[in-house]
Amino acid sequence: MNQQNTTNTSLFSTSWENKWEDNIISNESELNYKQLSIISLIAFLLGLGSFFVFLTLWFTFIGVLGIIFSLIGILLISRSDGTLTGLLFARFGLCLSVISLVSVFVFWSYYDYNMRYEADQFCQAWFNLFTQENNFDNIPLIKTATSVYWERKDTNNAETWWKKQYENKYSHKDIHTLADNKLFRTMLALGAEMKLTLYKTQNVYISNEEQRVTNIYAITFKDKNDNNATKSFFIKISADRKTQIDNNLNQKKKLTGWSLSGFPEFILPDEFK
């Protein structure tokens, strides 16, 4: 009876072998355990949050942090000898952050280009009013360019416009200010002899409520004393883009128009001072 018990618990017994196998399986599961990288998880969350940059550029830092955390996470996982996991999170976070930053850069680059183009077209159209024949008849349009098109009234008939200015005592000051402007009188006198060229864009300002482009133009004309020579001077024009929602017959219509911030002025660019 004692011999039988000894045999059952010997080194070669089945029960001993089962316990040994259980210990091996338990040790293998502990060896295969990998910890999730917190850095990679944060990088993934930052990658998702980086798309807030389309709301405002102030959120650009989220995409930058997403790229930094993603690269750190990938580096830590590669050096962990298999003890860390989460490489997929880090890679997704990196892709999302890069895509959001590149996309917003392309979007704002196109938006900036389009706004500069529209502002230049508006300024060119305003300038052409001075170069037409009988440009004095265009004074109403030249003057009212400081307001967006839906606020302009009676500009097609110069005689009617002048009559209303005469009858409105509050308009006298504006008209006298315009008549006393040396640039205004110079451009009217030169007329079709002038040629306008965009010299450079001095400033672009964008906000939720206001968009403004300030351009410097070079005006060139022939020298009356020497037909082979030309003279030039510079003017600065600031154009604003305004947006308004017009509720007409229960239908909302978005109106977008350009206007001049103020009457242009003579300017000498810094590189010529």
One digit per residue, pLDDT tens: the chain, 273 residues?
455 454 455 545 555 455 555 555 555 555 566 788 899 999 999 999 988 888 888 889 999 999 999 999 999 888 888 788 888 999 999 999 999 999 999 999 999 999 999 999 999 999 999 999 888 888 888 888 888 888 877 666 777 777 777 777 677 777 777 778 899 999 999 999 999 999 999 999 988 778 999 999 999 998 888 778 899 999 999 999 988 877 766 666 777 889 998 889 999 888 887
Between CA 58 and CA 103, with CA 53 as vertex, the angle to 5 degrees is: 130
Distance set, CA 21 to CA 14, 27, 39, 128 (Å): 11, 10, 37, 94
Give the CB-side neighbour count of residue 81, counting CA atoms within 13 A: 1
Within-domain flag for 99:
yes
Within-domain flag for 118:
no
Within-domain flag for 122:
no
**Is 101 found in the same domain as 212?**
no
Within-domain flag for 115:
no
Cα distance between residue 201 and residue 218, in whole Å: 12
Range of the domain at 35: 2-107
**Is 260 found in the same domain as 196?**
yes
Of 64, 90, 107, the one marking the end of a domain is 107
Burial tier of 230 (Cβ tally within 10 Å: 0-12, 13-18, 19+): exposed
**Is 260 found in the same domain as 136?**
yes
Residue 114, helix vs strand vs coil: helix
Domain count, the chain: 2
**Is 101 found in the same domain as 170?**
no
**Is 139 found in the same domain as 55?**
no
